[in-house]
Structure 1
Amino acid sequence: MRAGRPGFPGGTAVSHLTVYDWPTPDGLAGGSPHLHTASGEGYVVVGGQGRLQTLSAAGVGEHPLAPGTVLWFTPGTVHRLVNDGGLEIVVVMQNAGLPEAGDAVFTFPDEVLADPRHYAVASALPDGDEDAVATAARRRRDLALEGYAELRAEGPAGLERLHQRAGVLVAAKAAGWRATWEQAVRAGVEETDRSLTALARGDASHLAAASVHVGERREQTYRYGMCGRLRTWDVAAL
């Protein structure tokens, strides 16, 4: 039996997101287009109205979001949240710990994506004064929208190049993600495998270790993320 606290079911992470309502150069309000290189993402819409714009091998898509909508997408899907009014989402992320460790890549213009140092500067937010952080987050969002517009205009070749750039940008980090994934995901899968094997023999002794856990909020206030201001819970396996 695995020792310590189990992670949230499925090795996932949970956050509450209030999507940016800042106007954008194309006349819409919302967040920064980006993709995840190893993790899928799911939404449970709990308030407001909006849309999710996507770009994948299936082409350009737009998906309405309203309270009660449940939507998810796989790694490599470029996604942009559009806030049509008060959009709030409970976000469920696959592979808890990986997105925070750099699994996501913004859709900056290609000259930024091609230079890891330039990308690191463009994607970073300053510490300290909230107004300065908000200004930097908005500037970062607008730069990602610039590259996003180019991708939509270019089509499949642009998306293929973005995927290649993303792979290069995260290559140095990916080896370090494995330990996080093994603790958050693999350990839970292996424990389920053991439980199913035991149950097939009529052995339910693992149920004696049943337990309840409460996740603590990681932030006292909402912080600036890619798509909006968010609060997360500490739900990782320990």
Structure 2
Amino acid sequence: MTAPAFPGATSVSALEVYDDVAADGLAGGTPHLHTVSAEAYLVVGGRGRLHTIDGAGAFAELALAPGDLVWFAPGVIHRAVNDGGLDVRVIMQNAGLPEAGDAVMTFPDAVLADPGRYADAAALPGDEASDVERLAAAVARRDLAVEGYRALFRDDGAVDRERLARLHEQAAALVARRAPEWRARWQAGALAVARETGERLDALAAGRDPGLGAARVAAASGTPALGMCGRLHRYDTSIDATIDPTGGDR
């Protein structure tokens, strides 16, 4: 039998935000934006703040404490600041797209303008590297993004809208070639799930069984990784990777 799709074709991961301190004295993650996917944080432990710059250039700081839920649209630059043990659950729209390059880090202009330099700056060492080496590379990547992030602000603390507009243009240019692949992922994921809901509603409206007899359960195991904002526990919710907890065929 086919495993059920994860709700809304979203993805979920556990995130322990980095506690290494950047050049501006703040501990935390890598400032970045997503070009097509919305994101949500559910705080389950610790304390912190979320720094955001919206599409119009408005900066905001939101306090994060256990039980808090915050979400933001594609294009919002966000930076998780760890004030002590910040532990969140991250929910991402369009499962698979963030891992396919939807996230663009706020590197300095010269890096964002050169796809080759951007790819080199964004990459982490492979499995041949030690955990210490990989963590050092993740922190160095974070620090480079913080450098570009800080350059978005004028001396008076306001966001420079011209610089922000340039970042938006550079981010779009970096990912434009990926749009056909992303469209295929979206069609097979979020769009397919939405269409299935429509088919179930059609069946109910016509007095038919919407498919209740085919209902199944799935589970997924987490995999540790170093992400942009901290240590991740990623759950692969794709149908091919999910587990039937009953032991039956999928």
Give the TM-score of the pair, scaled to structure 1. 0.94
> Aligned partners of 1:102, 1:139: CA distance in 2, in Å?
19
Paired residue for 2:231, among 229, 232, 237?
Answer: 229
**Residue 182 of structure 1: CA displacement?**
1.3
- Counterpart of 1:215 in structure 2 is 220
**Residue 180 of structure 1: CA displacement?**
1.2
Task: Note if 1:109 corresponds to 2:111.
Answer: no
The answer as to whether partners of 2:201 and 2:210 remain within 8 angstroms in 1 is no
Residues 78, 205 of structure 1: alpha-carbon distance in 2 compared, 3 angstrom cutoff? closer
Task: Note if 1:23 corresponds to 2:25.
Answer: no
State the identity %: 53
> Aligned partners of 2:153, 2:121: CA distance in 1, in Å?
21
**Residue 58 of structure 1: CA displacement?**
5.2
- Counterpart of 1:90 in structure 2 is 89
The answer as to whether partners of 1:48 and 1:86 remain within 8 angstroms in 2 is yes
Task: Note if 1:155 corresponds to 2:157.
Answer: no
Q: Kindly report the root-mean-square deviation, in angstroms, between the aligned alpha carbons of the 2 structures.
A: 1.2
- Counterpart of 1:206 in structure 2 is 211
Paired residue for 1:50, among 48, 51, 60?
Answer: 48
SS in 1 for 2:66: coil
**Residue 205 of structure 1: CA displacement?**
4.2
Greater fraction of residues in helix? 1
Task: List runs of 5+ in structure 2 lacking aligned partners.
Answer: 241-250
Give the TM-score of the pair, scaled to structure 2. 0.90
- 1:168-215 deviations in whole A, cap 9, x for unaligned? 111122211112111211111001001111111222241111111111
The answer as to whether partners of 1:183 and 1:237 remain within 8 angstroms in 2 is no
- Counterpart of 1:180 in structure 2 is 185
**Residue 216 of structure 1: CA displacement?**
2.2
Residues 196, 31 of structure 1: alpha-carbon distance in 2 compared, 3 angstrom cutoff? same
Question: Which amino acid in 1 is paired with 2:46?
Answer: G
Residues 82, 188 of structure 1: alpha-carbon distance in 2 compared, 3 angstrom cutoff? same
SS in 2 for 1:81: strand
- 1:27-78 deviations in whole A, cap 9, x for unaligned? 1100000000110001110000000000111500111110000110010000
The answer as to whether partners of 1:47 and 1:67 remain within 8 angstroms in 2 is yes
> Aligned partners of 2:226, 2:236: CA distance in 1, in Å?
18
Matches within 5 A, 1:67-146: 67-127=66-126, 128-146=129-147
> Aligned partners of 1:81, 1:103: CA distance in 2, in Å?
18
* Number of equivalenced pairs: 233
> Aligned partners of 1:187, 1:205: CA distance in 2, in Å?
16
Task: List runs of 5+ in structure 1 lacking aligned partners.
Answer: none
> Aligned partners of 2:72, 2:11: CA distance in 1, in Å?
15
